[in-house]
Structure 1
């Protein structure tokens, strides 16, 4: 018997001995929480800043100018975007805009100065942004390889807590959760940025 067969046999034995699973999993956590827009956004901004993200706020009609200012401020000359991003968002940007596709090898994405995407939903309480691979958010590699991620969050997609945010997701879609720029610490608690994703996160909140 191979090691694989031995492991699978033990799993089958364990499943046989295990008690039957309940038909329904209890979902008794707190749901349905709401806050006025200003309080919800203030809470989100507090969490984002605590995570060392750069936060920018603007009205909908000012989004192209705000994005241009953010990209110019970081010296971006070549910016990647998912294929479904609204073309009007980058009308104020004078640099090169590269539309991503599955044909672009992931290592080449490192040549981009930044990536601009939309978002699906955001949790104010934890400062977590959810991407689900929609056309205006693109594949995971697009938001993990470039050093700078500029993410647009609209007020209407901001929920108070995790249960409320999760309820707006489609379980069958791939979900990426972002809580600030990529960072980790080694055993000596030395902070290292950019290991698992962008070192810099800019969040543009649109009201």
Structure 2
């Protein structure tokens, strides 16, 4: 694998954690997984987003920062490959979608302070699936607190990601349409994704589809 710091991103239910785990095992990379299950505000947020949006986003931001600071800021990235299933910037994307104007303005100031020191990934891979497919995956994995999610919310998150990708010229970003791929159970599908990831990419946005 020519990329030593990989980030696998995607909407809720896209399969980013599964792919990150597979890549870490196959290439001996350090695995960084988002610890979303420890957020005590998350179940309440899905039931009452207006009330719990700020604490849920603040908790996510501080926990992501703590984990990334421990694993990245004091590491030599050339000694061991790293694959993560989130980018710290997603903190701001979700906050923009969930917070009111005043809350977001405050949140953005805190984010900019915390984001300053992190190294940039060699490649950011975004796994794209339609909202319908994401809803299927969310139902299948059966996390109780996710069952309140609406397709419209997933569409809003997707739009936030795409706006970020279009405005970012510093990172190599690869969007892969994996709508009907089953890379967990189908080795050929997994190999297709590997072939795409293990290529050089210039900074900017790149798209790939198998259809």
TM-score norm. by structure 2 comes to: 0.27
TM-score by length of structure 1 reads 0.28
Q: Counting strand residues as a fraction of each chain, which structure ranks higher?
A: 1
